[in-house]
Structure 1
Amino acid sequence: MVATLLELDLTQPLLEAPPQDPISAALARRRPLLRDLVDGLRLATRDPDVAGLVAHVGGHPVALAQVQELRSAVRAFAATGKPTVAWAESFGEFGPGTVPYYLATAFDDIWVQPSGDVGLTGLIAEAVFVKDALAKLGVLPQMSQRYEYKNAADTFLASEMTDAHREAAGRLAASAMEQIVAGIADGRGLESGQVRELVDRAPLSASQAKDAGLVDELGYRDEVYAQLRRRLGGVRLRFVHRYRRARQLEPRHALSRLSKGPAVTVVHGTGDIHLGRSTRRGLGGTSIGSDTMGAALRAAASDSDVRAVVLRVDSPGGSYVASDAIRREVRRVRDAGKPVIVSMGSAAASGGYFIAMASDTIVAQPSTLTGSIGVLGGKAVVRDLLDRLGIARDGVAEGRNAWMFSAYRQFSDDEWQRLESWLDQVYDDFTAKVASDRGLSREHVEGAARGRVWSGADAQARGLVDELGGFERALEIACAHVGISRDEADVRIAPRLGILERMRSPESSEDLAAAATTLVGPGALRGPVDLLTAAFGVPRIGVLTTPVLWRLR
């Protein structure tokens, strides 16, 4: 029998969650699911027919937290003694290539094209500020925040980083760089000090990188594959996600899914959080609607076969009320005697942290953006902009504060005080629930809160996260909670819906079809601030939104 050489194409973005509607599935059909890659490598570690692994690294950057999840899976595969090889035309074509190179160091051997570079230049934490642009347009943002680290509001209120913003962003970049340096040092057999010196010398040519011990061989794709074939003999190539799918279709795996054995349900929450049904965002992205996620969690709680739930969260937050509604459903799953384990993706902050904090265990990657226990609120006043365009608005109102949220009028002093009081109330509720859910004192929570975003590693040190790891680790914990092994668990994605069920209108809020994502919905854009953020290419703003404007590159 011809052995299999597995391939990873890491030149394109990876899907965080499976598509929830036909359009999203069509748009994302060539993009593999992160979980499929990790699970495929797990299955391959014990498959004698799999001879090795080769990966094409580069192109579109993979998120740092996803890189760490893949690195763990690759290292576990390499521990079996099977060869692992990463190759790239260039790790940044005389440009940034730190994160792709960090991914490559999980492999035993690294090749780079002779004309390529190793752009191990470090990381930048960037933020976008639109205050001055808004002023030129005649738009006045009126926003307040709790507290100094809730920097999503700074996007609209400041022209550069505040001291608190710079401090928090600096620590995020430093934490991420510490993780990258440690990973590179371990993968390449170097000291951390040596890696730091090479970072300061980069970008390096291919030959310089080889001399420094950062790469093993210089060569082109055909030379990489020719060497592997000489080493392994006759092999057939197969992408990891295709291999995983084929394994899942094998009779013994198919029968195990049809059996009524103990099940662990996986509920995905990806995107910004809002009230109502989850919707498709843009080219394949999704949002988290409280109705949709609540229905999925209720279905898991009522399914007698389900022993535990893994909640995968990748969200910068959004609505406070929607986040609280989802947190309630998490607690109800636990009240039904089923543990809930949270696996955090690239970000699970502010509202994303709110929906995670009531779980039994929180697992995050070291680079996950989390915390951001704070709140912001306000509006953008567009009267001057409309006046310049010759557009006038007028009306009559009943009720002293009927105009409070109008984008055509500024807050009155009394309305501003009402906004400030409401922000205090939300912040107090958020911190109190963190303390209760995490078993921490209010004083301790306050020290970790004030809107500050933490890396997963720093969040664990402060009791906001329980363990560092990825989705597979969360599954292991869920299985251990209910006394079953990872291999015997029937892992299901919730909700289990066919195409017709996804398309039809639900009969009631208890109908499983209520857990389906809609193609469009009222959560798509929600007011003037949302329109402005969309225009400037920054995320939608909810009162529990974290500043994912920071880009580590």
Structure 2
Amino acid sequence: MAKLLKNLWYGLDLTRKIILNLVFFLILFAIISAIISSGDKQGVEKGIALVLKPEGNIVEQLTYKDPVDQAMQEATGNNDNPETLLYDLIEAIQNAKDDNRITAMVISTKYFWGSGVTKLQDLAVAIEDFKKSGKKVIAFDDNFSQHQYYLASQADEIYMSPNGMVFLTGFSRVGTYFKSLLDNLDVNMHVFKVGTYKSAVEPFIRDNMSEEAKEANRAWLADLWEGFTQDVAARRSMTKDDLLAYIDNYKDALTQYQGDAAKLAVDKGLIDQLTTRIEFREKMIALVGQDDKHKSFKQISHQAYLKAIRSPIPYVNPHSQKVAVITAKGEILDGEHKEGVIGGETVARLIRKTRSNDKVKAIVLRVDSGGGSAFASELIREELVKAQEDGIKVVASMGDVAASGGYWISATADEIWAMPTTITGSIGIFGMIPTFEKTLNKYGVFRDGVGTTRYANPVDIGQPLKPEVAEIIQTSIEAGYEEFLALVAKGRGMTRDEVDKIAQGRVWSGKQAHEFGLIDQLGSLNDAIASAAKLANLENYDTWYVKRELSEKELFLKQLLDTSVVKDKLDIKAQPQKPNLKNALMNQFNQSLDELTKWNDPNHAYASCFCEVQ
């Protein structure tokens, strides 16, 4: 019996191994086939139109998503929070310019939700360069929101549905405030801060925006709006005053046009021609030819185009001298974190890896962050300083936002670049600890105990904050502010008092920051890369975009669940939907409260700027 069972087990185990090996080789074959097919350059038909079709928000770095979750979302055509990488769009545009298979470019904004102004300006530069090839750029949509219209305005011709409208609203900074709610819940918010304008704590201690915050916000919003309106007016061959008149008088003008918003947009020069989808399709077929399979014009999306022109295996020349680009995007948190937030340990390790490569002569830190943990920010800055000590030039390039902790990690770079519409500054620091003793006591829950010193169990959210502990935290916050001033003064060649005058937690536009000396140069990421190479005396070099290495599990799942292959096979067309009003309000509420749970600075000290633009 024992021998029989042993043989039976051996047979079952052998069968299991054979099946697993078969499954493994089938998966391996599928992955290799997908890689080979993705590199097939014959997929770009001659005479085709490149369709630039961003989905969701345009970002500096894609937020990490679990490969299984992403595969399920995209395979079912249900992508809740889509993102489009800025540099994918730019790469597609740059390659299409000199690709004789591409004869035109179409900008489709239907599923584009929004972006910061600096990203829109980077795209505008790439599209303007594309036009030098003599190829036509055409934009079409049923309606145009503000960000959609900026992108569409870069085209040679803009077409819109006869039932559409162009509604430009200007910029705003609106927050959600919880003081009364917290009071009703008997929550004690213990706030420690330095800086008259450090308004990041206001949602938790006020029910409205302070006058100081309004003053600062109006100033930098005005600069962003100036850049936006100037760009759009120039692209449409109209004056800025004409554009502002269209916006300011929209209600009265719409009444005069009896509600015909589309005709109003045409008459005021914002739209070239009104066409239905059918008419636009026929117009494009006349321009580039017909795709018989899909009964439309010959076209290729920028995603499919990149898949066709990119090498299936990324290659970094090990022998060339390099300018390394490291992206720091999102909230700065202590510890290890994946893309979407900036992990202090994660980014510090990337910098350490980069500076240990003897071919790297310069590092460009691309920052798109409103800050976060002061401790994590300092970890990142220290690694950059060590790179400088090793003889590597360090240049900071600011995207939409590089404020508070985002400015902290940039401050001592050899050179700082930003766009005029970058949000920066906010040199200040704060701490915040909620305690719930009143709430708990109200329902009959109490906490009590003993300790060996007066500082035992210093922070207990179920007990009142000890006055001596509060004093320690406030002293630490003040010391942190002085440290912030000192490193900015050293990095910018200013005195402590000179920095203090423009600090105090106040937010500035890149244009203002340049005037004050917080920024060295105004320009794009490409400008910063070129400047870094010049500082390092490099004439011939490669640009190396340094990224976190995926774990073996992440890499395997990503290749196995290549959603682009699934969507191509099933002909799935994901259609991301804009958040409705209810979801938008709930998201604002959840994001604000979520800050309290994510903040993990060991010293409860934060350099953070709540400066989103609506």
TM range (shorter): 0.7 to 0.9
Q: 1:436 aligns with which of 464, 467, 490?
A: 490
Do the aligned residues in 2 keep the contact of 1:300 with 1:494 (CA within 8 Å)? no
Q: 1:478-523: CA deviations, max 9, x gaps?
A: 333344468x5143323455635979xxxxxxxxxxxxxxxxxxxx
Indicate the SS of the match to 2:56: coil
Aligned CA distance change for structure 1 residues 359 and 195 (closer, same or farther; 3 Å): same
Q: Is the 8 A contact 2:198 2:426 kept in 1?
A: yes
CA contact (8 A) 1:311 1:341 kept: yes
Establish whether residue 400 from structure 1 lines up as the match of residue 457 from structure 2. no
Matched to 1:371, the amino acid is G
SS of the residue aligned with 2:362? strand
> Does the 8 Å CA contact 2:55/2:83 hold for their aligned counterparts?
no
343-352 or 162-171: which moved more?
Answer: 343-352
Q: Percent identity?
A: 28
Residue 206, structure 1, aligned to residue 250, structure 2: no
Q: Which digits, 9 at most, give the CA deviation of each residue in 1:130-168, with x for residues without a partner? A: 111111111111102211110011111111111111101
- Tell me the SS of whatever aligns to 2:217: helix
Among residues 330, 333, 336, which one is paired with 1:277 in the alignment?
A: 336
| Contact 1:11–1:61 under 8 Å retained in 2 | no
Alpha-carbon distance in 2 for matches of 1:83, 1:398: 77
The residue that corresponds to 2:510 in the other structure is 456
> Which residue number corresponds to residue 507 of structure 1?
none
Q: Return the offset for 1:403.
A: 4.4
| C-alpha separation in 2, matches of 1:58 and 1:367 | 25
1:256–1:490 Cα contact (<8 Å) kept: no
Deviations 1:186-224, CA, capped at 9 Å, x for gaps: 111111111111111236611101000011111233433
Structure 1 contact 316–352 (Cα < 8 Å) conserved: yes
How do residues 167-316 of structure 1 correspond to structure 2 at under 5 angstroms?
A: 167-202=215-250, 205-233=261-289, 236-249=298-311, 257-258=316-317, 260-279=319-338, 286-316=340-370
Q: Aligned partner of 1:340: which letter?
A: V
* Structure 1 residue aligned with 2:67: 23
**CA spacing shift, 1:462–1:246, aligned 2, 3 Å:** farther
Structure 1 pair 335–48 and aligned structure 2 pair: CA distance change class (3 A): farther
For structure 2, the 5+ residue unaligned runs are 1-44, 75-81, 255-260, 291-296, 557-588
Structure 1 pair 305–3 and aligned structure 2 pair: CA distance change class (3 A): farther
What TM-score do the two structures reach when normalised by structure 1? 0.85
Structure 1 residues 479-494: aligned runs within 5 Å? 479-484=533-538, 489-494=542-547
Q: CA deviation at 1:344?
A: 2.0
* 8 Å Cα contact 2:403-2:609 kept in structure 1: no
1:446 corresponding residue in structure 2: 500
AA of the residue aligned to 2:138: V
Deviation at 1:18, TM superposition (A): 4.4
Cα deviation, residue 233, structure 1: 4.9
CA distance in 2 between counterparts of 1:163 and 1:255 reads: 52
Equivalent-residue separation in structure 2 for 1:545 and 1:123 (angstroms): 24
- Whether the aligned pair in 2 keeps the contact of 1:378 and 1:419 (CA below 8 Å) is no
Residues in 2 aligned to 1:20 and 1:333: alpha-carbon distance in whole angstroms: 27
Structure 2 CA distance for partners of 1:537 and 1:425, relative to 1, 3 Å: closer
Aligned equivalent of 2:153, options 78, 82, 105: 105
Partners in 2 of 1:302 and 1:179 — Cα distance? 40
Q: CA deviation at 1:361?
A: 2.3
Q: Provide closer, same or farther for how the CA distance between residues 199 and 538 of structure 1 changes in structure 2, counting only shifts above 3 A.
A: farther
Are the equivalent residues in 2 in contact too, given 1:265–1:494 (CA < 8 A)?
Answer: no
* Contact 2:428 2:505 (8 Å CA) reproduced: yes
1:83 and 2:144 aligned: no
In 1, the alpha carbon distance for the partners of 2:333 and 2:193 equals 19
Cα–Cα, structure 1 residues 538 and 26, in superposed 2: closer, same or farther, change >3 Å?
same
Query: C-alpha distance in 1, partners of 2:456/2:66?
Result: 42
2:211 paired residue number: 163
Per-residue CA distance 1:347-372 (angstroms, 9 max, x = gap): 22111111112222222233322111
Please name the residue that 1:39 is paired with: 91
Q: 1:51 is matched with which residue?
A: 103
Give the corresponding residue for 1:470. Answer: 524
Partner of 1:527: none
User: Secondary structure at 2:479's aligned position in 1?
Assistant: helix
For 1:319 and 1:538, the matched residues in 2 are separated by 11
- 1:152 and 1:545 in contact (8 A); partners too: no
Find the counterpart in structure 2 of residue 552 from structure 1.
Answer: 613
- How many angstroms does 1:26 deviate by? 2.9
**C-alpha distance in structure 1 between counterparts of 2:470 and 2:368, whole Å:** 33
Partners of 1:106 and 1:454 lie apart in 2 by 27
Equivalent position SS for 1:293: helix
Instruction: Give the count of matched residue pairs.
Output: 510
Partner of 2:162, secondary structure, is coil
**Greater shift in the superposed pair: 409-418 or 299-308:** 409-418
Would the aligned equivalents of 1:339 and 1:478 in 2 still touch at CA under 8 Å? yes
Larger proportion of helix? 2
SS at match of 1:432: helix
Alignment match of 1:7 (pick from 34, 51, 55): 51
Which residue does 1:370 correspond to in 2? 424
Distance in 2 between residues matched to 1:99 and 1:215, nearest whole Å = 15
2:372 corresponds, among 308, 318, 334, to: 318
Alpha-carbon contact 2:58-2:114 (below 8 Å) kept: no
Q: Distance in 2 between matches of 1:40 and 1:478?
A: 24
User: C-alpha separation between the residues in 2 aligned to 1:25 and 1:340?
Assistant: 37
Comparing 222-231 and 448-457, the one that deviates more: 222-231
Distance of 1:473 and 1:303 partners within structure 2: 23
Aligned-residue offset at 1:116? 1.1
C-alpha separation between the residues in 2 aligned to 1:258 and 1:138? 60
Equivalent residue, structure 1, for 2:472: 418
Output one character per residue of 1:87-132: Cα deviation in whole Å (capped at 9) or x when no partner.
22112xxxxx323222222222212211111111222221121111
Q: String of CA shifts for 1:431-478, please: whole Å, max 9, x gaps.
A: 110010122232321122100111222222222222333333333333
| Structure 1 runs not aligned, ≥5 long | 92-96, 280-284, 504-531
- More moved, 444-453 vs 477-486: 477-486
Given that residues 479 and 489 in structure 1 are in contact (C-alpha distance below 8 angstroms), is that contact kept between their aligned partners in structure 2?
A: no
The one-character-per-residue Cα deviations of 1:208-266 (angstroms, maximum 9, x if unpaired) are: 0100001111123343343234234567422224323432329xxx7974552223322
One-letter code aligned to 2:501: G
User: What SS does the aligned partner of 1:303 have?
Assistant: coil
Task: Work out whether residues 62 and 340 of structure 2, in 8 Å CA contact, stay in contact via their aligned partners in 1.
Answer: no
RMSD of aligned alpha carbons: 2.8
Report how far residue 20 of structure 1 moved. 5.3
1:338 aligns with one of 372, 376, 392? 392
CA change 1:224–1:360 in 2 (3 A) is farther
Structure 2 counterpart of 1:491, one-letter code: W
The question of whether the paired residues in 2 share the 8 Å contact of 1:349 and 1:370 is answered with: yes
Q: 1:354-365 residue pairs with structure 2 within 5 A?
A: 354-365=408-419
